[in-house]
Structure 1
Amino acid sequence: MSMNGPESAAEKASSNMMRLGLVAVAMSGVIAFYVLTGRVELNDPVEVTARIAQPATWTANAPLTLDVAVTLANNTDEAMPLSLPSQCDIFRWFVADEDHNLVQSQRNDEPCLDVPMKGNLDAKTSISGEFTLTLDPARVKPGDYILFLRYWGYELREPVTID
């Protein structure tokens, strides 16, 4: 005699939920094993990060500065070639409003050597640079902006709030 009542359906559903839970735990364990043993990397192969600080508050009478520390990381197992047509292109920036309208860009009169740059970034290493951006208080007022950065040819967009 087969039981097709509510108790039988509840037992089947409970059994199926238990199996599904065990499968999820097993899958999580396998994923954790591969990540923790380094067989799967969660980082991007090449990663650009930036720390941005505003050392002083905005005033209408003085230029505003932003301190920017940029890091380029090679997370691969092989050296990564770096090449730029000019040393002037190592770090480039511009500021846009939230609608992506240009507010201010880097001036081209900053000193640099206009010579080609070539090199390698070794595997599992990074390079960093620190830069001070001078913003015009007539263009950049308190509010929210997007800082577009390019470091060694790799781009990054960072939200910035001017106080």
Structure 2
Amino acid sequence: MSDNNRRDAAARAGNNLTRISLVFLAVAGVIVFYVGTGRISLSEPVELTANISQPNTWTETGPLSLDVTVTLANNTEEPLALETGSQCDIFRWFLTDEDQNFVQSQRGEETCVEVPVRGELEGNHTISGNYTLPLDTSRVKPGDYILFLKYWGHERREPITID
């Protein structure tokens, strides 16, 4: 192959690489534009988030609890039907160790009438609940755990550290 043919092939390859790069930049620009203007949402249609804090440090004699705020977001335009078997089923939780061995769950001390609870979460709205989770210091020691939460039928697991 002559030097001219090699130079021509290299020039064509360079031109093709430039065109491909420009196409990728244009596509990325369009995506950024649509996400930035809110025309495309990267969030889940229905999203459960949790904010967890430990108000007191662990001691052998306790008390020990977690403060949990859960938020259910309907990121769609359509209303979301909410339904549970009873008022006590709106929020449920249990705690496992890092290997997912059961440690503690919600106590059944609350009296509930077994009547279904129904509601609706409008499109692009949220609903929140604040809960205090009492923990048994004979079961829960300082360390890493996984908190499983269920709010209005939507589940989330959160890694936590007990101090």
Point out the more displaced range, 69-78 or 115-124.
115-124
Aligned pairs (5 A) from 1:71-150: 71-150=71-150
TM superposition shift of 1:114: 4.0
CA distance in 2, matches of 1:57, 1:66: 10
The residue number in structure 2 matching 1:12 is 12
Structure 1 unaligned regions, length at least 5:
none
Give, as a single letter, the amino acid of the residue that structure 1 aligns with 2:76.
T
Percent identity of equivalent pairs:
59
Per the alignment, residue 32 of structure 1 pairs with 32
SS class of match (1:3): helix
Alignment TM-score, normalising by the size of structure 2: 0.92
Output the amino acid matched with 1:122.
Answer: E
Which consecutive unaligned segments of at least 5 residues does structure 2 have? none
Structure 1 range deviating more: 34-43 or 117-126? 34-43
- How far apart in 1 are the matches of 2:8 and 2:46? 55
Using the alignment, how far apart are the partners of 2:111 and 2:129 within structure 1? 16
- 1:98 & 1:10 partners in 2: Cα distance? 56
DSSP 3-state at the match of 2:5: coil
Residue-pair matches, total: 162
- Scaled by the length of structure 1, the TM-score of the pair is 0.92
Deviation at 1:9, TM superposition (A): 4.3
SS of 1:131 mapped into structure 2: strand
In angstroms, what is the RMSD of aligned CA positions?
1.7
Distance in 2, matches of 1:98 and 1:136, equals 17
* Distance apart, 1:14 and its partner CA: 2.5
Deviation (angstroms), 1:32: 1.8
The alignment status of 1:21 with 2:21, answered yes or no, reads: yes
Deviation at 1:12, TM superposition (A): 3.1
- Which amino acid counterpart does residue 148 of structure 1 have in structure 2? F
Higher alpha-carbon deviation: 95-104 or 108-117: 108-117
Query: Which residue of 2 is the match for residue 47 of structure 1?
Result: 47
